[in-house]
């Protein structure tokens, strides 16, 4: 089966611009998660979708971040406007039932 796919793999933008990250989970996985690793620090939970509904968005840092999962399939994470501290690696993961969490390769975001 295809794994979790993230686009783009790298993105370099200027402060104040908008960036949209995309995640395609494993087909059939209802649970979709976003995590972020900033500046080589710990990986932190951002939010959790169950199908198209936000189950837990307690980790979203502020209202410059908007996550959507239309139709319960792929998800997007938009950062608008981007700030320097948003630089890091954004990971998406999906799961279904008792299956282990599957992570994508991540999107490396650099804000200059």
Partner 1 sequence: GDSVTQMEGPVTLSEEAFLTINCTYTATGYPSLFWYVQYPGEGLQLLLKATKADDKGSNKGFEATYRKETTSFHLEKGSVQVSDSAVYFCALSDPYNTDKLIFGTGTRLQVFP
Sites of contact with partner 1 (CB under 8 A): 3-4, 31, 33, 35, 37, 40-45, 48, 56, 91, 93, 95, 100-101, 103-106
Number of Cα atoms under 13 Å in the Cβ half of residue 51: 1
Closest CB 103 distance from partner 1, rounded Å: 4
Closest CB 80 distance from partner 1, rounded Å: 25
Closest CB 61 distance from partner 1, rounded Å: 16
């Amino acid at each position: 089966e295809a794994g979790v796919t993230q686009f783009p793999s790298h993105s370099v933008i200027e402060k104040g611009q908008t960036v949209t990250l995309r995640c395609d989970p494993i087909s059939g996985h209802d649970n979709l998660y976003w995590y972020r690793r900033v500046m080589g620090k710990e990986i932190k939970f951002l939010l959790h979708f169950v199908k198209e509904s936000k189950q837990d968005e307690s980790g979203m840092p502020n209202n410059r971040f908007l996550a959507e999962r239309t139709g319960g399939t792929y998800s997007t994470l938009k950062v608008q406007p981007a700030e320097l501290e948003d630089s890091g690696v954004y990971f998406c993961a999906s799961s279904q039932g008792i299956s282990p969490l599957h992570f994508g390769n991540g999107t490396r975001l650099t804000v200059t």
